[in-house]
Structure 1
Amino acid sequence: MKKYRNLLFNVVMIIFMVSVNLLLFNRLPQQMPTHWNIHGQIDSYMPKQTAVWLLPALALFFLVLFRIIPYFDPKKNKYRLFKKEWEIIQTVFVGFFVYMHGITLYLSINKTGRIMPLMFIGLGSLFILLGNYLSKIRQNYFIGIKTPWTIENEENWNKTHRFASWCFVIVGIITLIEAYFVWYAPVIIFGGIMVAAFLPIIYSFLIFKKNEEKMKYIYLVILILITLLAFVRLISGEDDWICKDKQWVKHGNPTAPKPVYECR
């Protein structure tokens, strides 16, 4: 029984999603929001008969996928070396689907709710949790930073994943901070993904070339870009919609359309 404890916990979370669906089904609108643009505005709807089951189905799909992946991996024996972390990563993903499902239901019922802070909390937590366990993952063909150099060399794999772990955690912390400020969503979202995805690949290549010390130049370029971005935003002013006296007022020249949620 102890062997399947984590699996049972994940199944219980999915059952919880289904139970909440049944409990709230009659309160949900016929058309539920299923996608938001980068300004936090709904741009896609779906009939509730389909929408309520979408994320539970995805959670179940990924749970099954995670359970069978090791059987198809030529390096399946490696999974025994990070079995605990592998189980936790599965729970993290299922938990993320539970959280996003809760957000979808909440925003379907509460029309004045804001997606961006809630989404950033979820993404930030996901990055931090994954980063915390990324360094424990051992060589395999399905999960992790898979480059020709990490697959070929175990030392390269281990160093790259330790580095990637820090990248994920730092991006996660920045994303959580963004949940409070909701400053410039496109930069945070795409910039964070770029950092978490591509810096470890560059680092892996430099290890392969035995030029790890050149990473300092990459850091310098990133620092310069961040500084330039902050400077441009500072001198250009806040281009956003400001809530004033319960009315949305333009401040500068916001590119986003006027918010549709209530100004309080």
Structure 2
Amino acid sequence: MKLDGCISVSALTVTIMAAASAYALSHLSGAPIPLHLTLDGRMIAAQSPSLVLLLLPTLTGLVSLLFAVLPRVAPGGLDRSVRPYAVVWLGAISLLAVMHLSLVGAAVGASFDPVRVIVIATGEFLVLVGNFLPKVRFNSLFGVRTPWTLASERVWDRSNRVAGGWLLIAGLIAVAGGVLFQDRMAAVMALLIPTLSAALAATAYSALISREEARRA
């Protein structure tokens, strides 16, 4: 999978997001949009529609630019991990697009809970990352990057393989929580707790097997 194709897909995605914003702005009166950022749905701020609806397309463009530039400046490049990198890139852009379309839908009065939609989409992204993480070969750019994995390619491979499974499980739990839990707090916790647990466990595991490799040496 070529990264040039990811650039094209990212540009198309940003265009679609901007078009959705334009559609929403044409159907809004110009009154501030309430941002329901608390889990119980209370409004904590209201911003102009233009600011709210252009934020995520702009962020998506910047994230795409970052994904495009990093492989060109990272030491060693991504010769052995181009496909996993491209998949994660497109997954991240897709997640931002879902978040944006959820916000647009909420702004024009669609009857769904954007928080639960975002939890489900984030869980699916974690499943995607978890599936491809074991395929990420040793590099300086992405993967499970701890002092122990960066010091040993063997520790890197073992850590990414195990962490990928944990992250996949965390994503499945998040998807199930977003689908099954009507309560926003419960849905968000179904995302946060397994994800943080997987990250902490991966860090601890890399330290543990690094000591194991050192004893064998």
Please give the range of the TM-score, normalised by the shorter of the 2 chains.
Answer: 0.7 to 0.9
1:178–1:3: structure 2 CA closer, same or farther, 3 Å change rule? closer
Match of 1:44 in 2: 45
Match of 1:85 in 2: 84
- What is the TM-score normalised by the length of structure 2? 0.87
Match of 2:24 in 1: 24
Unaligned runs of 5+ in 2: none
Match of 1:149 in 2: 148
Match of 2:58 in 1: 57
| Same amino acid, percent of matched pairs | 21
Aligned length: 208
- Range moving further from structure 2, 192-201 or 103-112: 103-112
Q: Which has the higher contact order (CA 8 A, sep 6+)?
A: 2
Q: Deviations over 1:69-103 (max 9, x none)?
A: 12222222xx0111122112111111111100000
CA distance in 2, matches of 1:137, 1:128: 15
Q: Are the counterparts in 2 of residues 82 and 138 from structure 1 also a CA contact under 8 Å?
A: yes
Structure with bigger strand share is: 1
CA distance in 2, matches of 1:136, 1:82: 7
1:80–1:93: structure 2 CA closer, same or farther, 3 Å change rule? same
Match of 2:204 in 1: 202
What amino acid does structure 1 have at the position aligned with 2:20?
V
CA distance in 1, matches of 2:119, 2:188: 12
Match of 1:217 in 2: none
CA distance in 2, matches of 1:65, 1:3: 12
Structure 2 residue 72 is the aligned partner of structure 1 residue 75: no
CA distance in 2, matches of 1:69, 1:80: 13
**Aligned-residue offset at 1:142:** 3.0
CA distance in 1, matches of 2:54, 2:68: 21
**Aligned-residue offset at 1:41:** 4.3
Q: Are the counterparts in 2 of residues 39 and 185 from structure 1 also a CA contact under 8 Å?
A: no
The RMSD of aligned alpha carbons is 2.1
Q: Deviations over 1:48-89 (max 9, x none)?
A: 11111110111110110011112222222xx01111221121
Structure with bigger helix share is: 2
**Aligned-residue offset at 1:40:** 4.7
Does the residue aligned with 1:38 lie in a helix, a strand or coil?
coil
Unaligned runs of 5+ in 1: 212-264
Match of 1:128 in 2: 127
Does the residue aligned with 2:145 lie in a helix, a strand or coil?
coil
1:187 corresponds, among 186, 189, 214, to: 189
- What is the TM-score normalised by the length of structure 1? 0.72
Q: Deviations over 1:75-132 (max 9, x none)?
A: 22xx011112211211111111110000001111227532332122111111111111
What amino acid does structure 1 have at the position aligned with 2:171?
G
Structure 2 residue 160 is the aligned partner of structure 1 residue 161: yes
